Chains A and B, each alone.
Chain A
Amino acid sequence: MSALLSVRGLSVVFDGFTAIDGVDLTVEQGELRFLIGPNGAGKTTLIDVITGLTRPAAGTVRFGEQDLVGRREHEIVRLGVGRTFQTSVVFGELTVAENLDLAASFRRPLWSLARRRRGISEAVAEALATTGLAELAERPARVLSHGQRQWLEIGMLLAQRPRLLLLDEPVAGMSLEERSRTGELLTEIARDHTVIVVEHDMDFLRRYASQVTVLHEGRVLTEGSVAEIRADPRVQEVYLGRARREAKDVVG
C-alpha cells in the first residue's frame, strides 16, 4: 500500500487569520478516513485546499504522483479527486438521471456532448442503484428531500468514478433513519474506494469509522482508531470541553 494522498506542512491564512496551521495528513489507498473536530477546526478548509477551491499559504498536497496545489478545480477532478459539499448543491432544473449523467460524462470530449443522451449509461445506472434513487431518476432534482439530495450528491460523486472521495458532513441535517442508511452506503462505497469523510456526529463515528484524524484550531490534534480517539483525554477536552456532561454522554 502506498499513500494516495499526502498533505505536508499545509497552512491556510484568511486575511491574517490562520485557519490551517502546518497540517500533515497521509491517506493510504483503499482507506476510509474520518476527519473530525469542533466547529471552525479547519475541516472544510482542508478539503477546499485539496480540491483546489482555496490556495494554501504554504505546504504541498500530493495525490499519487501529482502535485495538486495551484491546479484548477476541474483539473483536480479530472485527476480523480471528487467531493461533496456541506450544503448539498444539485441542479434542481435537471432530473436526477441528468444530474448523474453530467457527473459521469466529463471525460467525453466536449463536441460529443452535443448529442442527446440516449437512455442511461452504466455508471449512472450503478449510481442510481447504489443510492436507491432509481425510482426518482426522471424527476427534477428540486423535488428531492434533503436526505435524497445528499444521496444524489454521493451518487454524482460515484458516477465520476474518482480515485479519492471527499465527503463534507454527508449526514448533517438528516433524520436518524437517513443517517443509518447513509452510514451503510458509506461502508458500501468504502469497500472499493478511498474515502475521507468529515463528520461531527460522534454516534455516527462510533458506528462507521475506523481510522480517525482529529483537527483542532487548524492543527492535527491526534490520529488513531476510534477507540484510541475516544479514550484520548485531549480529544475529550478540546472536542467537547465546553459541554462536559455532553462529552461524557457522547464520547464516553
Chain B
Amino acid sequence: MSGTDMSVVTEVPDPVRMPPERPSWRTRLRGPAVFAAVAVLALVVAPLLLEPFRLGLLAKYLVYAIVALGIALAWGQGGMLVLGQGVFFGLGGYAMGMYLKLTEAQGGLPDFMVWSGVETLPALWTPFANPFFALAMVVVGPVALALVLGTLVFRQRVRGAYFAILTQALAAAFVILLIGQQGLTGGTNGLTNFFELFGQDLALDSTQRGLYLAVVVVLGLLYLGTRQLVNSRFGRLLVAVRDGEDRVRFLGYDPATVKTVTFAISAGMAGLAGAFFVPVVGIISPALLGVVPSLELVVAVAVGGRYALAGAVLGAVVMGYAKTIFSEQFAGGWLYLQGALFILVMTLAPKGLLGLLRRRKEVAR
C-alpha cells in the first residue's frame, strides 16, 4: 500500500498504551538457569545420591514425563484433551518388547508363545527381530495411527468432550484387543522377562543407570524441541486453534491439519516413552496402558500445570512419587486422593503447581 496515511488512526485514546514489556536479562536468563540446574540435578546429583532402586523409580517417572510433555502440547497448547495416550505408549512399548523377546529367543519362539501352544512365529512378529525396524516402529506406529485417526476425526470437526471420549474409548478397545490375542501379545500378562538390551544385562545396576541417563537426555531434548515448537509460528497457530478454531479457518489455515500434526507429535512422544518403559521397568502389559493409566497421566499434567511444559514434567514426577508413597502406606487410598487432588487443582489452581510456584515468585518480587 503506497498511500499509507499515518494520520488516519494514530491517535488512539486508550488506557493500555504502555511501552512493550521488554524482559530484562535477568528474567531472560532465568529459564535457561533453571533448566541447567535441573539438568545437573538429574544427570549428576541423582545418580550419586539415589540407591539403584530409587533411581529406577525416578527413571520410570521421567518416562511418564515424556508422555506428559506430549499431553501438555496437545491439551495445554492445542486444547485436545487426549485421554488415550496409553494406546500410543503401548504401541511403542510392545514394539520394543517384541524386539527384546525375539533377540532373547535367538531364532526360536518367545517363552509365552511356547506356553500358549503357538508353533510358528506370527507374521506380525517377524520384522521386529530387526532392531532398526523395531526402533523405527516405536515412533512410526503411534505417529501413523494418530495421523489416520486425526485426519478422520478432526476433518469431521469432532472436538471437545467428544474427542476426549473417543480417545478414551480407543484405549479401552486397545486393551480388549491385547487381552484377546493371548498367543500374539501375551494377553493379560503382556510381555515380560527381559534379560538384555543391545547385549547389556538389564539386571545390572550400571545398565539401569545408563538407561536412566538416556531417559534424562531424551526427555531434556524433547523438552527443548517442544519448547521450540511452542514458541514458533506453529505454536502460535496451535494456541489460536485452541482458542478459536472457527476463526482460524478464516485466516486461511485448516485447523484439522494443525490438530492432526500436533496429535501425531504427542503420540510419537508417548510411543518413545513406551519403548523406554520396557527396559526400565521390565514389563509391558494391558494394565499399564488402559483407560486408568491414560487418565492418571492427564491428571498428573493438570496437577503440574498443563499450560507450561515444565509443569507437565513436574506433575509426572510429583504424582509418580506420590503414588509410590501412598500405595506403600495405604493401598487403594491413592485413587481417591488422586481424584480429590485433580478436582482441587482444576477448581482452585487451573495453572497447577507450576502456576502456584510462579505466582509466589511474582508476589515475592
Contacts and interface: CB of A to CB of B under 8 A. Distances in A.
Given A72-B249, A78-B252, A101-B233, A93 B243 contact: yes
A113 B9 contact: no
A82 to B, nearest CB: 7
A72 B249 CA distance: 9
B252 A143 contact: no
Given A110-B234, A185-B8, A192 B1 contact: yes
B6 interface: yes
Given A110-B234, A110-B261, A185 B4 contact: no
Interface residues of A, number: 55
Given A98-B236, A151-B9, A188 B16 contact: no
Interface of A: 51, 72-74, 77-78, 82-83, 85, 89, 91-94, 98, 101-103, 105-108, 110, 113-117, 126, 129-133, 135-139, 143-145, 148, 151, 156, 158, 160, 177, 181-182, 184-185, 188, 191-192
Interface string B8-40: 111111101110110000000000000000000
A122 B244 CA distance: 25
Contact of B9 (A78, A110, A117, A132): A132
A164 to B, nearest CB: 13
A198 B228 CA distance: 41
Chain A CB within 10 Å — which of B11, B231, B234 has the most?
Answer: B234
- The B interface is mostly helix, strand or loop, or mixed, namely loop
B4 A130 contact: yes
11 contacts: A51-B250, A73-B250, A74-B253, A77-B252, A101-B233, A102-B237, A102-B251, A103-B252, A106-B252, A116-B233, A137-B20
A160 B251 contact: yes
A189 to B, nearest CB: 8
B239 A132 contact: no
Nearest to B21: A138
A91 B233 contact: no
Contacts of B18: 139
Contacts of B254: 72, 74
Interface string B215-255: 00000000000001101111011011001100101111110
Given A103-B251, A144-B16, A160-B252, A129 B4 contact: yes
Interface string B94-134: 00000000000000000000000000000000000000000
B250 A77 contact: yes
Contacts of B199: none
A156 B240 CA distance: 13
Given A148-B14, A156-B251, 12 more contacts: A89-B244, A106-B252, A113-B233, A115-B232, A115-B233, A116-B233, A126-B4, A129-B6, A130-B4, A136-B17, A139-B18, A148-B12
A74 B249 contact: yes
B3 interface: yes
B234 A114 contact: yes
A132 B249 contact: no
Contact of A82 (B1, B250, B258): B250
Given A131-B9, A138-B21, A151-B9, A114 B252 contact: no
Given A72-B249, A129-B4, A94 B20 contact: no
B12 A132 contact: yes
